[in-house]
Each structure stands twice: as C-alpha cells, then as structure tokens.
Structure 1
Amino acid sequence: MSDHVMACIDGSGHAMAVCDYAAWISQRLDAPLTFLHVLDNHPPPDEGNLSGNIGLGSREHLLEELAMLDERRAKLAQEQGRVMLEAARERAIGDGIAEPHVRQRNGELVETLSELESETRLLVLGKRGESAHLASEHLGSNLERVARALHRPILMVPETFSAPERVAIAFDGSKTMRKAIETLAASPLFERIACHVVMVGADVADLRSQSDWAVDTLNNAGFEAHGAVRNGDVETTLHDYCREHAIDLLVMGAYGHSRIRRLLVGSTTTAMLRSADIPLLLLR
C-alpha cells in the first residue's frame, strides 16, 4: 500500500492543476492514484462553532439553533468535499487514469497525511489552499508544515498544468541529493525529459567533479542530462536558470535535519516554495 500517488483536493483554484499533475505522475510511474479531501475539525474562528460566543443573555433555544447550524455546516462541507472528489475522479479518468480512488477524512491535514504516509509514494499539493491569502508570495501554512513533517516526495504545483519537458535538479552534492540523483536515474518519472543538474557556488574543481558525477549518473541511465555550475545567491540563481532554459519543473532537497543544515537548506526551501511559479518537487 505504499505506492499511491496521493493528491490533496480542496476548493482552491489549484485543484484542477493538482488533478492533472497527479494524473500525469500516476501514468509516468504506473502507480495508483488517490484523491484525498480532509475535513478540518478545527475551522477558522470566524467559520467555526458559534455556540460559545453568545455570552450574557444566552437562551437555550439559541444554543440549540446554533448547534444545529454547526451540524448543517459540517454536513454541507462533507457533501461539498464529496462533490469535489467525484469531479477530481472524473477529471482523472478523462486524463487517462482507469481507476482513480477517492478518500475523505476528518482531521487536521498534516496529521492525516502523516497517518497515510505509509501508503504514499508521492504527494501532490497546490501551492495555496482554499483558506490561504491570495497574495502571490503567500505560502499556505499547511504546505510548509507538510513539507517539514513528511518523508515522502512532495510535488507543489502552481495554478495551471503544463506537462514537463525540461526539468532542473538543484544539486548540492549532499548525501540526500546524491541519493535523489540515483533514485531519479532509476525512475521512469523523467524518462524522455531533458534534465539539467544545477549547482550554485564558485566554479571550482570540487563542484565540477560533483556535477559531472550527477550528469554521468543520469546519462548512463539513458537520460539527456546537462550540467551547470553558477555562482551567486541560491534562490536568485535557480530562478534565473529556470527562466533562461524554460524549465518546467524544479527538483530540490527538502528541509535538513541538523540545526545548521536546517537553517541553510530550510530557508532556501521555504523561499523557493514561496516564489516558484513552476512545479517544485521536494525530496528527502
């Protein structure tokens, strides 16, 4: 049960892109696809349980009516979720998925995804959920928490789908990213897709050697791989490279575990999550 592509569906504008990217990955990996809708048991204060807000002068019948209102609201949210899941299932079938699965769960998103981690091969999320602010650089609170909590690959997607044709891999020579290169080389995910290995740092022999190793590993596995070593700020350099080479998807390591690495890598990961306008695949 650990082979499912898990796609989180909500009422945001990213839902259709989540469906399409998840279907694309499911087909590339020949893996089953599951759409997940999570009903949050702790909605925002302005949308939550109103029965505790009456204060002085409350009457029993008002409390009963408010309780009924909360119950109706919960039922409507559940039904809306079912409608979204069915729409996602139909869209995936239209994308060529024979038997997409749907699941609806009650609970908090990060906790629910952690519970389902053993069933998940790769997770697909929209950059912003339906409750997130619409500012372009706002990062939905759930996304960063999910990225830190889960140990599965996570694909964060923008609002529109485009089948990737050129992929960039932000390679730093770390153990995590060396393992990622070997995993990608053995995976059908990026078959017949041009792969660019990008290292950010002074163009010295050590970085060139590490870049050559990554490129050779991918080329030896039958990929069309290119290497680049650039100096500069990591976030700016990666964005510039992706723009110059019309990159459709960026792969990078997620948050590190040591305190120093978490500060360095984590800050870059968060910055890229906020500013990326192409899909971002996070690997642990």
Structure 2
Amino acid sequence: MTQVIGCIDASRCAPAVCDYAAWASQRLSAPLTLLHVLDHRHYPVAADLSGNIGLGSRENLLQELANLDEQRSRLALEQGRGLLEAARERARTAGISEPAMRQRHGSLVDTLRELEEQIRLLVIGRQGEDSQSAADQVGSQLESVIRVMHRPVLVTPAEFRPPRSLMLAFDASATTRKGVAMLAASPLAQGLPVHLLMIGADSGENRSQLESAGKLLQESGLATTCAIRSGEIEPALHAYQAEHDIDLLVMGAYGHSRIREFLIGSTTASMLRTTRTPLLMLR
C-alpha cells in the first residue's frame, strides 16, 4: 500500500513537516510513515583504520577513534528515535491513529529511491538541520530529492497553515496537463478553490488550452478560476499568489517550455528560496 512519508530531522521545519504530512494523510486516506535518515556524511558507519598511514601501530588511538564513532552513532540514533517519537505524538494529536516510524542510516536520496514504490506523497521541509542559518537558505539535498523522485513532493515552510486554496502553474506542457488530471482525481484538492494560472501572452491558443484544462477541473467538482498573466515567471507567480492569498502552490517539476527552463538549474533553488507557502511538485 502506498503511503504519505514525512521526512523528519532536527530542523525548525520538522514540526510543520509532521503537520502537513498528517493533513495530507487524512485527505488522501493514506497511511502515514515518519522517516528519519542518519546521513552517513555526518554519522559514518564504523571504519577499519588499521591500514591508515601512521595509525596501524597506535592501538590506543585506534580504539579511542572507534569508541568515539560508536558513541556518536549511538547518540545520533537516540536523538533520531526521540525526534520520531515526538513527531508520532504530534501526528496522533492531529488525528492520525497509527503513524508508523522508520529510521535508516545512509543517504537520504538513496533511501527515498529504495522506498519510492511505497510512496504516494513525500513531505519534506524547505530547510534541513544543516541549512537554518539564513531564512532564504534551502536544504542542501532538497533539489536532488526533487530531481530523482517520480512521486509528488510537498515542500513545506517552517510554519503549518492548513491549505484553503491552491494554484497550479500551467504552461500547457504534457507535465502540467498531467498535473491537471492528477488534481482532478486527487482527494487532496477536493473542497479547495483552484486557480489555474498561465504565464504568457493572452492569445487565443493559450486561452483555449487554459480553459480546456479548467473545464476538466470543474467537471471533477473543483471550483476553478483561470487566469493569464504576462511577465517573468517567478515574480508573476508570487504576485498572483499574494493577490489571491493562495496557500498552496502546485507546479510540474519538469515541463517542456519556459517553465522547464525556469525550474531546471539555479532558478529551481531561487523559487524554493522565495516561496513562503508549501510547494507541491508533481512528476
């Protein structure tokens, strides 16, 4: 059975990740699993140092190093379990009866690849525990996760606000047309007003494609508003979102037009840095 997976760490985004994951779990009627990964870069598994130059004959030093590694790993595991227990209690308070917990040691990206077939929605914070010094700093692994995942990814801010409306950035590409179909079929969007926004020229062709997508959403029971705006994509999206007080921004992770150019490369990180509401990336 596929499930909602919330990535929990020691960052300030972790409580919001738990809350958004619980919200999504309830709307999707999908089980919730809280995942904590001990990054091997910070907590390596025990290594054999006996062959290192200058260390082979220093048995006391080798033993001390091994003891330190073991102690650090044990403390990290205990901290991770504590984080998961706190997240589980928070999810229970939010109405999830039996949230599951999983703890892994290794790379976050590799772990998510292994679990991908079990994931219906991945929920992850915009900032991790290593990237909290600046408000606009994005987690070091976030873009890598978005690139490798073939499941929807919900990127959360540090504060939880139950979404009351959503906006899909539409460019008529195969990716965003698929996104429209996904929203039309998903319980996640049910009951939420949907804004379908295209950035580009207000031409007959663009208007026709936009209205066709809007009709599909309306036929699924979603209250839908269609709009076209000109200008640069990032500021135009933010301006419309602020104007209509939209809680949740939905985008195709990779398209085949201006939005594709916009999302690949440094501009991906730019959008993630400047977004202060949750961002749902569809694949």
Aligned residue for 1:34?
Answer: 33
Distance 1:215 1:261 in 2: 19
Distance 1:208 1:167 in 2: 20
Aligned residue for 2:208?
Answer: 209
Shift of 1:56: 6.4
Deviations 1:12-44 (A, max 9, x none): 000000000000000000000000000112218
Distance 1:44 1:232 in 2: 46
SS in 2 for 1:116: helix
Cα contact 2:253–2:263 (8 A) shared by 1: yes
Q: Would the alpha carbon gap of residues 42 and 218 (structure 1) be closer, same or farther in structure 2, given more than 3 Å must change?
A: same
| Structure 2, unaligned runs of 5 or more | none
Shift of 1:202: 1.1
> Match of 2:124, as an amino acid?
L
Percent identity among equivalent residues? 52
Cα contact 1:254–1:269 (8 A) shared by 2: no
* TM-score (normalised: structure 1): 0.92
Distance 1:67 1:213 in 2: 64
Distance 1:24 1:280 in 2: 14
Name the count of aligned residue pairs.
279
Q: Does 1:143 align with 2:150?
A: no
Aligned residue for 2:161?
Answer: 162
Aligned pairs for 1:239-278 (under 5 A) are: 239-256=238-255, 263-267=261-265, 268-278=267-277
Q: Does 1:24 align with 2:23?
A: yes
Shift of 1:205: 0.9
Cα contact 1:158–1:277 (8 A) shared by 2: yes
Distance 1:215 1:278 in 2: 23
Cα contact 1:35–1:103 (8 A) shared by 2: yes
Q: Would the alpha carbon gap of residues 208 and 101 (structure 1) be closer, same or farther in structure 2, given more than 3 Å must change?
A: same
* Structural RMSD (CA): 2.4
Distance 2:132 2:88 in 1: 27
Cα contact 1:93–1:99 (8 A) shared by 2: yes
Shift of 1:260: 9.1
Cα contact 1:26–1:33 (8 A) shared by 2: yes
> Match of 2:11, as an amino acid?
S
Shift of 1:99: 0.9
SS in 1 for 2:172: coil
Deviations 1:58-82 (A, max 9, x none): 8431221121011011001001111
SS in 2 for 1:122: strand
Aligned residue for 2:220?
Answer: 221
Cα contact 1:17–1:159 (8 A) shared by 2: yes
SS in 1 for 2:161: coil
Deviations 1:117-173 (A, max 9, x none): 000000000001101242222221210000001110000000000000011110110
Distance 1:232 1:261 in 2: 13
Distance 2:32 2:26 in 1: 9
Distance 1:67 1:102 in 2: 29
Cα contact 2:34–2:84 (8 A) shared by 1: yes
Aligned residue for 2:10?
Answer: 11
Aligned residue for 2:195?
Answer: 196
Shift of 1:216: 1.1
Q: Does 1:174 align with 2:179?
A: no
> Match of 1:146, as an amino acid?
V
* TM-score (normalised: structure 2): 0.92
Aligned residue for 2:229?
Answer: 230
> Match of 1:69, as an amino acid?
L
Distance 2:139 2:54 in 1: 37
SS in 1 for 2:25: helix
Distance 1:163 1:20 in 2: 9
Q: Would the alpha carbon gap of residues 44 and 134 (structure 1) be closer, same or farther in structure 2, given more than 3 Å must change?
A: farther
Greater CA drift, 36-45 or 64-73: 36-45
Cα contact 2:43–2:72 (8 A) shared by 1: no
Runs of 4+ in 1 over 4 A off after TM superposition: 54-58, 258-262
Cα contact 1:181–1:218 (8 A) shared by 2: yes
Greater CA drift, 271-280 or 122-131: 271-280
Distance 1:228 1:269 in 2: 23
